[in-house]
């Protein structure tokens, strides 16, 4: 007889796998997990013992209700007789008690009247003193200060001039200056204590154990490109969703639900580990189980390893689906060895990694995979309280032209209902409409259920939390509070590393690994950079190239850098505008170079604490080339439209084509209509010629910047 696993025995006896493991260990079996294998003799003995144990429990539970019912009946009769006796004596004593109480109350009333009057006078005095003081932040604009102390802006500016301070109404002044000015107007100001920055504002809280109920598991499918993630999801969907419902599931929402023998499983239809990283980087862990798809004919690839690391960092169970087993060159033994080499030891070899061979093409092994998901879910006991205010995570969000801001929400706790007031970051509003994963209107959604909601004031941030609140006023208050503390949040973040503070971090012992993301214009550069930078590792710090790819620096690169506290290094490539904005917001250090050796030298010097004086690049603006004009004796001139910031005559221009730098040099000419111009501002059109360069094409982007030395 082949070896039987513990979970299979539990299934045969119709008992939970977790209880089976616990009972077998108590009986003397050395069972490490539900995946442990039993030989024929052990299987028979375990089956006999478990049958005795759980059958006796069932018989006992059947007898107990009848016995309890009889005992309850006798107890009720005795209780009824006692109650009648007590009621008679109680009625007699109540009248005398009431008379005594009336006398006591009238005496206390007179005493309280004088006490209340004294405390009221004291309170009014205190409130008056507090009302005379205006609380202001450490830095405040002249206009806001004028409003705070109730004087005109003109009067305030005049007083500032008298004191030798030149400032307009939009400029900020520090607290000392503000206090001095307020004193001139006989006003008292005090420093407002900065609010503690909290991402959740105490809207989320832990639920009591007795309120928790089982919920469906949330699954994310991860893996290398072309290993069959989409095919696997399609096969599951076709097999376990009715044909009438299947159409347009993924079109309506980035998640869908399947039913397996009455048990629900929620799949997040996301671009694998990238979305996973984005969630983790914001501290919004919504995935319960990660399915790692590995092609049987291809094996473990770099992106597979990256997916493993992301899942381990998020501390979620991993189930490996070895796909494409229908191919003749499929080799699952090689896959198991490669997985073991990367920290996922197969259960057959004594590890705890569940490996299931499947074929998305033929459907073989799909049911086994789903069974494993349910079994892991049973072992992990995923629970939530459905009877509280809803808390969820924004899976994705966008602005729909017809419906306004829309958000896909995965409910984690509580129940979200139609008409509920909700808040997510700076976005707030009432849930006006709610759609399930099939595009049908619904009125409520419980834990682990994905829904599309309408009614928010603006598009929320993907990966952010969504909270149900009492009313519209509260929702707006929280949204305004988020908006007010954005600056403080930026200050408090400070988790990401830069080359400038690398050495100090090493000295403090706060940094042992330097993670680097490399983006280049050609593939060969990646390996060259990886080999060169790996040699820089020493006893204090290890240099890790966590990701390398060809192309411009994108939003997903910045998200990965945020999650892994990495520095982004680019060669002959530039970040997109979105990536630049995100990097600034998240505090990610992006370095771009034209020569490999410059980057290697910078990293080396940063490790040794010997960086040269830093020249900071200040990007002035960007423009799009809309038309190219040929001018005799001059060459090609670009007709541009300035989309962001400004272009100046003295700035250096980068010509960018598909996020790759094709030219970098000076401006030879700049015109606005027929006149020479010193600068072109946002929304302006003009002509720009580049020094000794004519290969300009429509659709190219021009990025203007200047360099300035920064003291270290």
What is residue 647's predicted lDDT score, i.e. its pLDDT?
A: 93
Beta strands in 490-576 (DSSP E): 513-520, 542-550, 566-571
The listed range with the strongest mean pLDDT (236-240, 332-336, 539-543, 704-708) is 704-708
Q: What percent of the chain has pLDDT over 90?
A: 16
Which of 219, 321, 214 has the alpha carbon at shortest distance from 266? 219
Q: Where is average pLDDT lowest: 9-23, 53-67, 218-232?
A: 53-67
Asked if pLDDT for residue 686 goes beyond 90, the answer is yes
pLDDT tens digits along 157-174: 888 888 777 777 777 788
Report, as an integer, the average pLDDT of 254-265: 79
Place of tokens 């609140």: 469
Cβ-based neighbour number of residue 540 at 10 Å? 13
pLDDT tens digits along 627-638: 999 888 888 999
pLDDT tens digits along 169-201: 777 788 888 888 888 888 888 877 654 434 445
What is residue 367's predicted lDDT score, i.e. its pLDDT?
A: 86
Q: Where is average pLDDT lowest: 8-17, 243-252, 639-648?
A: 243-252
Q: What percent of the chain has pLDDT over 70?
A: 75
What is residue 127's predicted lDDT score, i.e. its pLDDT?
A: 53
What is residue 624's predicted lDDT score, i.e. its pLDDT?
A: 95
User: What's the chain's average pLDDT?
Assistant: 76
H helices, E strands: number in the chain = 20, 34
pLDDT tens digits along 99-151: 555 555 555 555 555 555 555 555 555 554 545 788 887 778 888 888 888 88
- Is the pTM above the cut of 0.85? no
pLDDT tens digits along 550-571: 788 888 788 888 877 888 999 8
Report, as an integer, the average pLDDT of 259-279: 65
CA-angle at 222, arms to 218 and 227, nearest 5° = 135
What is residue 72's predicted lDDT score, i.e. its pLDDT?
A: 52
CA 482, CA 424: separation in Å to the nearest integer? 9
Higher pLDDT, 390 or 184: 390
For 578-618, the DSSP string reads HHHHHHHHHT--EEEESSHHHHHHHHHHHHHT-PPPEEEEE
Calculated CA dihedral for residues 703, 707, 711, 712, nearest 10 degrees: 50
Asked if pLDDT for residue 279 goes beyond 60, the answer is no
**Sorting pLDDT into bands at 50, 70 and 90, what band is 29?**
confident
């Amino acid at each position: 007889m082949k070896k039987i696993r513990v979970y299979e025995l539990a299934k045969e006896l119709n008992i939970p796998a977790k209880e089976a493991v616990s009972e077998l260990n108590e009986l003397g079996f050395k069972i490490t997990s539900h995946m442990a294998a039993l030989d024929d003799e052990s299987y028979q003995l375990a089956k006999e013992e478990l049958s005795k144990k759980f059958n006796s429990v069932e018989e006992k539970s059947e007898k107990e209700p009848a016995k309890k019912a009889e005992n309850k009946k006798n107890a009720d009769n005795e209780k009824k007789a006692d109650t009648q006796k007590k009621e008679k004596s109680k009625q007699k004593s109540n009248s005398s008690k009431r008379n005594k109480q009336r006398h006591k109350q009238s005496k206390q009333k007179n005493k309280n009247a004088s006490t209340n009057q004294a405390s009221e006078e004291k309170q009014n005095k205190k409130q008056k003193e507090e009302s005379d003081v205006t609380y202001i932040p450490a830095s405040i604009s002249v206009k806001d200060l004028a409003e705070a102390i109730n004087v005109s802006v003109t009067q305030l500016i005049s007083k500032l001039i008298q004191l030798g301070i030149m400032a307009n109404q939009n400029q900020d002044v520090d607290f000392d200056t503000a206090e001095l000015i307020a004193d001139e107007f006989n006003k008292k100001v005090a420093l407002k204590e900065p609010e503690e920055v909290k991402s959740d504002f105490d809207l989320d809280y832990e639920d009591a154990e007795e309120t928790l109920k089982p919920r469906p598991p949330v699954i994310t499918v991860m893996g290398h490109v072309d290993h069959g993630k989409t095919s696997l999801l399609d096969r599951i969907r076709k097999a376990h969703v009715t044909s009438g419902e299947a159409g347009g599931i993924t079109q309506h929402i980035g998640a869908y639900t399947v039913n397996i023998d009455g048990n629900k499983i929620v799949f997040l239809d996301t671009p694998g580990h990238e979305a996973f990283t984005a969630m983790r980087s914001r501290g919004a862990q919504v995935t319960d189980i990660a399915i790692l798809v590995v092609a049987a004919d291809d094996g473990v690839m770099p992106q597979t390893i990256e997916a493993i690391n992301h899942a381990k960092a998020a501390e979620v169970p991993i189930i490996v689906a070895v796909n494409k087993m229908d191919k003749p060159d499929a080799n699952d033994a090689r896959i198991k060895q490669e997985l073991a080499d990367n920290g996922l030891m197969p259960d057959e070899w004594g590890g705890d990694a569940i490996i299931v061979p499947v074929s998305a093409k033929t459907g073989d092994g799909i049911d086994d995979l789903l069974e494993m998901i349910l079994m892991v879910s049973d072992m992990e006991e995923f629970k939530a309280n459905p009877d509280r205010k809803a808390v969820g995570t924004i899976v994705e969000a966008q602005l729909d032209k017809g419906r306004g801001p829309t958000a896909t929400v995965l409910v984690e706790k509580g129940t979200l209902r139609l008409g509920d007031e909700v808040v997510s970051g700076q976005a707030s509003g009432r849930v006006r409409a709610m759609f399930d994963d099939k595009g049908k209107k619904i009125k409520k959604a419980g834990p682990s259920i994905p829904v599309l909601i309408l009614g928010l004031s603006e598009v929320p941030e993907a990966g952010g939390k969504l909270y149900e609140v009492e009313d519209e006023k509260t929702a707006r208050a929280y949204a305004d509070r988020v908006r007010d503390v954005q600056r403080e949040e930026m200050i408090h973040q400070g988790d990401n590393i830069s080359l400038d503070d690398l050495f100090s971090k090493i000295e403090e012992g706060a940094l042992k690994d330097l993670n680097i993301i490399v983006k280049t214009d050609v593939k060969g550069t990646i390996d060259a950079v990886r080999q060169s930078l790996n040699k820089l590792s020493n006893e204090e710090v290890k240099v890790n190239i966590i990701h390398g790819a060809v192309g411009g620096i994108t939003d997903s690169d910045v998200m990965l850098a945020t999650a892994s506290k990495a520095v982004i290094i680019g060669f002959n490539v530039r970040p997109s505008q979105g990536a630049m904005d995100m990097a600034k917001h998240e505090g990610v250090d992006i370095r771009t170079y034209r020569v490999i050796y410059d980057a290697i030298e910078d990293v080396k010097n940063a490790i040794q604490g010997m960086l040269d004086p830093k020249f900071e690049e200040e990007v002035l603006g960007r423009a799009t080339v809309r038309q190219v004009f040929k001018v005799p004796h001059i060459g090609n001139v670009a007709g541009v439209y300035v989309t962001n910031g400004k272009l100046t005559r003295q700035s250096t221009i980068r010509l960018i084509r598909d996020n790759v730098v094709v030219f970098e040099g000076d401006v030879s000419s700049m015109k606005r209509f027929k006149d020479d111009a010193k600068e072109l501002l946002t929304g302006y059109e003009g002509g720009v010629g580049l020094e000794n360069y004519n290969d300009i094409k429509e659709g190219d982007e021009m990025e203007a910047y200047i360099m300035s030395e920064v003291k270290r």
